[in-house]
Amino acid sequence: MKLHVEKLCKSYGSRAVLKDVTFTAGNGVLEIAAPSGGGKTTLLHILLGLERADSGWITGAEDCRWSAVFQEDRLLERLDAAGNLRFVLGGLPAAAGKMLDRLGLDLGDPKPVQDYSGGMKRRLALARALLAPSDILALDEPFTGLDPEALARCLSLIQEAAETKPVLLAAHGFGGGFPVFQIPTLETA
What is the pLDDT, as a whole number, of residue 112? 98
Residue 124 has what pLDDT? 97
Mention the CATH class of domain 3-182: alpha beta
| The pLDDT of residue 189 | 40
The pLDDT score that the predictor gives to residue 187 is 62
pLDDT < 50 stretches in the chain = 189
Question: For the segment 136-183, what is each residue's pLDDT rounded down to a tens digit?
Answer: 999 999 999 899 999 999 999 999 999 999 999 998 766 678 999 999
For the chain, the structural domain boundaries read 3-182
Q: Which pairs from 147-155 meet CB under 8 Å and 24+ separation?
A: 147/119, 149/104, 150/103, 150/104, 150/119, 150/122, 150/123, 153/102, 153/103, 153/104, 153/123, 154/103, 154/123, 154/126
